[in-house]
Amino acid sequence: MDTASDRAAEEQQWIGRIANRDRAALKLLYDRYAPRIFRFVIRMMKDEAGAQELVNDVMLEVWKSAENFEGRSAVSTWILGIARFRTLNALRGYKPDTVGLDQSAELEDLQAEASQVKGREQLKVLLRKALDRLTSEHREVLELTFFHGYNYREIAEILQCPENTVKTRMFHARSKLKPLLERQGLSATDAGGVP
Amino acid sequence: MTERNIEQLLAWYANGTLDSAEREQVEKYLSEHPEMRLQLAEYEFLQETVGEIAADEPQLQSDNFDNLMAQIDELETTKPVVSKPEAVTETPAGKVVEPSWVQRLTEWVSETLQWGVTPAFARVAVVAQFALVAVLGGALLLPSEEPGYEVLSGQGSGPTVTQGVLVDIGLKPELTLAEFQQLLRDQQATVTSGPNALGVYRISLVEDGQLSARLTALQNHAGVIYLQRVQP
């Protein structure tokens, strides 16, 4: 399975088998998606045990709903959509885990910390902190794009929002990470080698 | 596509998910606006580092799948999900084979009766009832040598009257069947029809020398309220 379309076809086939209660097919799907779901969920809820449970909730939902899957969206989009819905439900009533980065104090903090960054490890720590400070709407667009590798159409489907909203959120997320990005010396000259 | 629209695609140009037409537009735009390469470099930086951060974060426990299987076992036990029967199956050779009527019947029974979760004693009871109904139903369908009914005056007993005197007779409601039968036997009479809507029987009497006496006896019987000879 090399291409994305091959993978998509393979996953559709697994879903068909899962609809017929094939646990081996569920294992294949689990191995491919559970780590991604976990990553997606834990970034939103910051609770490792809760995230583990949610992964299984999502896969259990896949097990129960596979026979109703009509293939109108990609399996990957469908699964991440379930994961997001479940996570938002789980987070209801919880104290919000994010603080908007547009607050000036937060922005100054990030600028100050960015100026102290010396090595790559420090940079990763700071980026993680910066991502944590983003609102969940902005963070999930970044995660779905740069970690999960979705295109903006798929992200719109997962988030159940217009494509333009996805693009706008990406624009704002990048703006809020700007102090960190600037600190990396990303300039027109530095980026000259970019294809 | 406007410049702003193209700029908004840079993140997905960086992650390599744009279609070929969009990619070409972005590349053309970048060649005309080299300053936009800075923005692209920022997205490429995120593409690189967001993935790296993930490697340092907590990982999914390896026994999580076992927990999932346990949850499914519990689900299947408490609330079984009946699998949707496949309309067709595909053989390894790719030939499509439709399920036989026996398979379809089995699947239908399985779905309708939830057979897979019915306790053993209940299954035995259902099978026994089904067998009883089948036997009784079969017995009803078998051709019978015996008539399905019997006339009040009996079959083959008593004198068979093909020709005789016909009389309409009305009876008191309290007269029992046994008393009526006895009356008929005493007077050698046979019911030929009735009772009609008014409860009147038509009986036939042997036409012999005692006909008058029999008619008198019938008329005088305590259970008889009406007697009328049918005119030929």
pLDDT surpasses 80 at A72: yes
User: What ipTM was predicted for this assembly?
Assistant: 0.76
Q: Looking at chain A, which residue has its C-alpha nearest residue B45? A: A181
pLDDT at B172: 83
The rounded percent of chain A whose pLDDT value lies above 70 is 78
The CATH code of the domain at A4-91 is: 1.10.1740.10
Q: Do B40 and A194 touch (CB under 8 A)?
A: yes
Q: Is A152 on the interface with B (CB under 8 A)?
A: yes
| pLDDT greater than 80 at residue B114 | no
- Which residues, other chains included, contact B99 with Cβ-Cβ below 8 Å and sequence gap of 6+? B85, B86, B87, B88, B89, B107
- Please indicate, yes or no, if residue B48 is contained in any of the structural domains: yes
Quick: pLDDT tens for A12-35: 999 999 999 999 999 999 999 999
Give the pLDDT band of residue B106 (cuts 50, 70, 90). low
Q: Do B84 and A67 touch (CB under 8 A)?
A: yes
What's the domain range around B50? 3-54
In this structure, are residues A63 and A18 in contact, taking their beta carbons and an 8 Å threshold? yes
Confidence of residue A191 (pLDDT cuts 50, 70, 90): very low
Cβ of A174 within 8 Å of Cβ of B47? The answer is no
Domain count, chain B: 2
Closest by alpha carbon to B202, among B194, B212, B211?
B194
| pLDDT band at residue A110 using 50, 70 and 90 as cut-offs | low
Q: Return the closest-CA partner of residue A58 out of B149, B207, B67, B62.
A: B67
- A 10 A CB-CB count for A77 gives 19
In whole numbers, what is the pLDDT of chain B averaged over residues? 76
Residue B141 confidence (pLDDT)? 77
For residue A79, the distance in angstroms to the closest alpha carbon of chain B comes to 16
Contacts (Cβ under 8 Å, ≥6 apart) of B168: B194, B200, B201, B202, B203, B226, B227, B228, B229, B230
Other beta carbons within 10 angstroms of residue B92's beta carbon come to 5
- Name the residue ranges covered by the structural domains of chain A: 4-91, 104-185
User: Which of A35-39, A47-51, A76-80, B151-155 bottoms out in mean pLDDT, i.e. has the lowest?
Assistant: B151-155
Three-state SS at A101: coil
Closest-CA residue in chain B for A146? B47
Of B174 and B68, which is predicted with more confidence? B68
pLDDT value of residue B26: 94
- Per CATH, the number for A104-185 is 1.10.10.10
Q: Per-residue pLDDT averaged across A32-39, rounded?
A: 92
Within a domain: residue B122? no
User: Rounded to whole angstroms, how far apart are CA atoms A39 and A44?
Assistant: 9
Q: What is the pTM of this model?
A: 0.55
